[in-house]
Structure 1
């Protein structure tokens, strides 16, 4: 793999220190003088001569950009645009036909290997989808972000800019009806079909973003491809990979093809493969199928000096037309192409879907050697000439095939060896297993099947799609009111009802559209036993709600009843505040079963922190308030919505374990703006007790009035969040606070209701 040495821009920010309100801290004066007549008379950047932004001057400040990064201002589509409606107008068969034709229409500016772009298009689709990781659901293909930095400049994505540029005529032709995100994956599918694979299906529905996804943490290394032990290394202890990361190095999609840290050792690479692919939701069989199937077609490129390549697309000058890695040697392409640094095809027939990869891997001996670019790779010993692939650009020459360290792992690791031998003996079984694994790889982050678009959506329901049965009932206003009355008279407290509804819904992740209240999986394992869901309290609530469901005479799901319980409790809390408002409730949630639930997959989504309920399972490297921002962004909430929800949930007395931290009110259980009123009251000062506990004391008497956590006090210390807190603390905004809280609450409860969208 060619080694790039470039600075990484996404260092994790450390949380700010929250001080007592009366503590005086010197603040540097920025850009004090423009007296020199030789300087530009316009004040640049953050009122400074060096045009630094706020985070450059105060790097420990809480960065809220994650909550507003995909503002509509960056999106050229208007508010009324619906990609789903546009996609329905698409002639998908015509697109597929155009893509298959494109595969063999070799362009002079970037000629196709063997006259077929299949391998390049598959790599593009693979690397678009392969950034997905299960821990936070981020990455993957559903936003088309491979077009932007840092992904478009990763060393592992060298020359994929050419693949996307080759696709431009198709994108131009079909326009708004076909997103880049969908087109990239569909191109990979058509590449495989054009070479003989029967794919499992295709679903549209991926909507493009319009600038880089800055919310995704790709690692803290300072250099691309930084080895283990370097500054910011993602490994600790006995090669324990940092969460939520999946790839082994900054700038790689999976594992290093030359071996761990570039040192060939197939058994060590096998261990890396297991960790990396499991963090992309793949088991051993799927991992082996993807490795074998991905390397059945195409080739690696390393026939030249990697150090001679120009910069990535973000570095090159305007003359490069937005392309990168330009090679000044020879033709600069074709036989002079340098991509990974490895050189050669894996199989005898690199444009055909066949079993040739396993024939060569298992039936021949392989020796470690070097590519022309100096990369570690394996070549066969004494391979018959007729089994060697024809040169990609000269049909009169045959070349040795090659294998990477990951390929050799399939041969030497006992677990993988057993699987690939089964594939070798049953090509139809292998083809079906690969087609399913490829479909999972390219659709894992698209969400439940209800979000899938198009005529090629497979009929079969797959367990990783988190299926939820459709409901067969409607609820009248009378039935809803009857259920509310029964719930409120059940002996359950408002806090118990609200926290159960919240805990059910807070699992929603807009990153991969998983989780949420629909399906009521909070009543199933593993969620029922998660510490963050307070199993004793949860089981009590579930038992009583289930009894109501069975005895009420109303046909209703537990998923709807759980949300309705929180709704009824909030309405009651609002009435106590002297304001009468109905909290919107839209029935229609189904109840998933154990058989529909991949427990292992859901276990990786366990809630281990929730600033909204003032809870941390353990100490973390990043601050509690940063964790809250991460949770907020995954739930699709804005900074004002986060603010109003935290303030409301505190006074509703919904903290984890009944903690009173941040409950700044003398009337807990009533929905009021007391949290903000008392947070911004300068009659109190904040006294640190430890890193995450503060006493709120009366300035005159010194008496402790309340306790608070960092998450509570950041709403009064951070200048942006304080502006929101002051807004809701105003005398004329208490009704606005209630309306905004109800709106934000309803948004969370309905986040996964794709039937409403």
Structure 2
């Protein structure tokens, strides 16, 4: 993402006087060029170390689940609901109720979620930080969070900002009459901005007329034209525009086109894991409350929180007109309410949408909106001026529900059955605010049991009452190795089972053994695992037959088989090492696996397995495979040393998806040696690209021209990137072998346990036992 100043000039300017010696401090305190501006193609390995324990004031030992358990949830909810109707002078509540604006805050926190890579969502309260907190579509959410600060201080660290924001949204809905579907706590706050998520290709334009902080041009993130068959968003993006949560409420390009708006809505909400019914329920349900604010043109509004002057104390979008709030408030530029009673759950939004015709009008701020043509249509009371009645308002994105045939049919069902609509909105809101939390057993609090197991939660059956003991583990390892399956195949299969995990939304991983189910078993990258799974099923059946009815899950057996292979590989390299194993994984069923949603976990690229899909350029145009590899390591929560060691170990163990020798820089495949790192950093080799695509390379001996090794970009990056090469050097030396084996086992164990929330709970830092 670009910066406000698109020039590359070196500026050390600071407002006010510099301290003594300040001319030497420009690189720290001024606006000096960054590494990224000097070297835009640089691989940002340091992103792996963001939001680590050093940034966390609570430390690595803080147990959020235990702290959250000390809260009386009903008392907390009562405190929140009392605050919602206690208006303050500095930011008066519309209609005397902060509920509608808190719903918007919670919705916009959760609405950044996207299914393609699991990033976004309410789970870490990233709305507090740039860039999300300063997006134009999040205007004045800073006021909502500031209003909640007394509650946050009252409950301290037992209540994360992320949980507080979502719970406040729930309390707001309940206060206004909607029966919510449940609430699960357990969201861990981030402590620094996320500058590693790619939100789109747009750049900041401080001179944009439409709004000071709005991204300009949506063209780069879209394929085709709105209405064409090939019209779609660039992956993994979900919002139609970088500064928006979903779509432009005035229509594409603010053009007032309802059908075009409907197409944008369907694409963006689908990318955020919502189907048509959930989409309609969320829009219609959300617009049953509150109002939109558009009294002052965007060009008159002050800068966003991240750009505001220091005395603003983190609040942005200063409005210089009148009191700057109440009847003078301006947020997205559209002015008005959708219903006559904006603080009560009812069906009047849909009733009014379909009962009247609407014409395009302009708000006081100049934004395009819609007003009933019938002068007898219901009016809505002004939010702050007693006795004043205003026309109803609809956005272009509201009219879209009326003109799109599929959306209209759903609206008509909801119109005919208010109870159906109520349940649909409650469940869609629950999904919206919990989608990024992962398995249900991560949820905390007494309201979790209100909700049933839902398919989007990737449910797993309950674990059996018994557990494998040490004798069982030893017997199973022996049985696995006796099959004759190679170290490479066993390691590859276990890693493939775990490799779908992504920490962004806690989905995927080895638990559940979904590697043996559709769609994962049918992916080309997993083809190599099919005969291994078949052989392991035989081991599983034999164990049950000879152990007095005791059973081992296929999920446990896959991981255990990989661990046994790693131990054998370590012995082959001269190290007698043991890989920890924690049983308890379960096998899920095809019926509990949402094939469409799991298709989003299909890898486009996986550097660990040297896999680059033929769809890679389509989904990631202009992205180098090593950049996608860094993203994969990030989703695994790996540090740079862990990334380096895991990759180097998997290569010498023969982890390529197609069994090729590319990157397998060893003559002893299957032995856990440092050969990959030693040979990669060999100064007696010259690497040259095989063709103009520069995707594969050959390492040659200069004196003879002998081709010694072949490698991919995913391999050479550990020698070409300065930070990664320095780590490679730490293990490639004569004293590196034992350290390497120990480090590989730690990171292998960590990856195998990433999805074991039944064991790890809400831990954020450190490696875990497998």
Report the Cα offset of residue 7 of structure 1: 5.4
The answer as to whether partners of 1:44 and 1:51 remain within 8 angstroms in 2 is: no
The answer as to whether partners of 1:10 and 1:220 remain within 8 angstroms in 2 is: no
Correspondence for 1:126: 107
Given candidates 392, 402, 410, the residue that maps to 2:383 is 392
Report the Cα offset of residue 319 of structure 1: 2.2
Query: Aligned ranges for residues 613-624 of structure 1 at < 5 Å?
Result: 613-618=609-614, 619-620=616-617, 621-624=622-625
d(CA) in 1 for partners of 2:122 and 2:160?
Answer: 11
Report the Cα offset of residue 57 of structure 1: 2.4
Change over 3 Å in CA distance of 1:693–1:46 after alignment to 2: farther
The answer as to whether partners of 1:46 and 1:54 remain within 8 angstroms in 2 is: no
Given candidates 581, 594, 597, the residue that maps to 1:598 is 594
d(CA) in 2 for partners of 1:635 and 1:142?
Answer: 17
Correspondence for 2:306: 314
Change over 3 Å in CA distance of 1:136–1:431 after alignment to 2: same
1:675 matches 2:667 = no
1:209 matches 2:172 = no
Change over 3 Å in CA distance of 1:45–1:484 after alignment to 2: farther
1:365 matches 2:357 = yes
Correspondence for 2:57: 76
d(CA) in 2 for partners of 1:644 and 1:46?
Answer: 34
d(CA) in 1 for partners of 2:458 and 2:195?
Answer: 27
Q: TM-score, normalised by structure 2?
A: 0.91
d(CA) in 2 for partners of 1:726 and 1:466?
Answer: 41
Change over 3 Å in CA distance of 1:139–1:589 after alignment to 2: same
Query: Aligned ranges for residues 521-560 of structure 1 at < 5 Å?
Result: 521-534=514-527, 537-553=528-544, 554-560=550-556
Report the Cα offset of residue 59 of structure 1: 2.2
SS at match of 2:323: coil
Query: Aligned ranges for residues 287-436 of structure 1 at < 5 Å?
Result: 287-384=279-376, 387-436=378-427
The answer as to whether partners of 1:236 and 1:242 remain within 8 angstroms in 2 is: no
SS at match of 1:444: helix
d(CA) in 2 for partners of 1:88 and 1:251?
Answer: 37
d(CA) in 2 for partners of 1:404 and 1:217?
Answer: 29
The answer as to whether partners of 2:137 and 2:332 remain within 8 angstroms in 1 is: yes
Correspondence for 2:510: 517
d(CA) in 2 for partners of 1:42 and 1:489?
Answer: 70
SS at match of 2:437: coil
Deviations 1:622-681 (A, max 9, x none): 111111100000011111001001111111111121111111111111110011111111
SS at match of 1:261: helix
The answer as to whether partners of 1:220 and 1:234 remain within 8 angstroms in 2 is: no
- Name the count of aligned residue pairs: 724
1:706 matches 2:709 = yes
The answer as to whether partners of 1:577 and 1:672 remain within 8 angstroms in 2 is: yes
1:655 matches 2:648 = no
d(CA) in 2 for partners of 1:547 and 1:288?
Answer: 48
1:181 matches 2:162 = yes
1:61 matches 2:42 = yes
* Structure 2 unaligned spans of 5+: 7-11, 13-18, 205-212, 545-549, 761-770
The answer as to whether partners of 2:202 and 2:218 remain within 8 angstroms in 1 is: no
Correspondence for 1:194: 175
Deviations 1:145-164 (A, max 9, x none): 10111111100011111101
Deviations 1:455-491 (A, max 9, x none): 0113411111111112212111111111111111113
1:242 matches 2:243 = no
d(CA) in 1 for partners of 2:270 and 2:22?
Answer: 56
d(CA) in 1 for partners of 2:624 and 2:165?
Answer: 37
Query: Aligned ranges for residues 264-283 of structure 1 at < 5 Å?
Result: 264-283=256-275
SS at match of 1:595: coil
Change over 3 Å in CA distance of 1:437–1:8 after alignment to 2: farther
Correspondence for 1:688: 689
SS at match of 1:658: coil
Query: Aligned ranges for residues 95-174 of structure 1 at < 5 Å?
Result: 95-174=76-155
Correspondence for 1:19: none
SS at match of 1:694: strand
Cα RMSD of the aligned pairs, angstroms, is 2.0
Correspondence for 2:479: 486
d(CA) in 1 for partners of 2:745 and 2:647?
Answer: 12
d(CA) in 2 for partners of 1:119 and 1:443?
Answer: 19
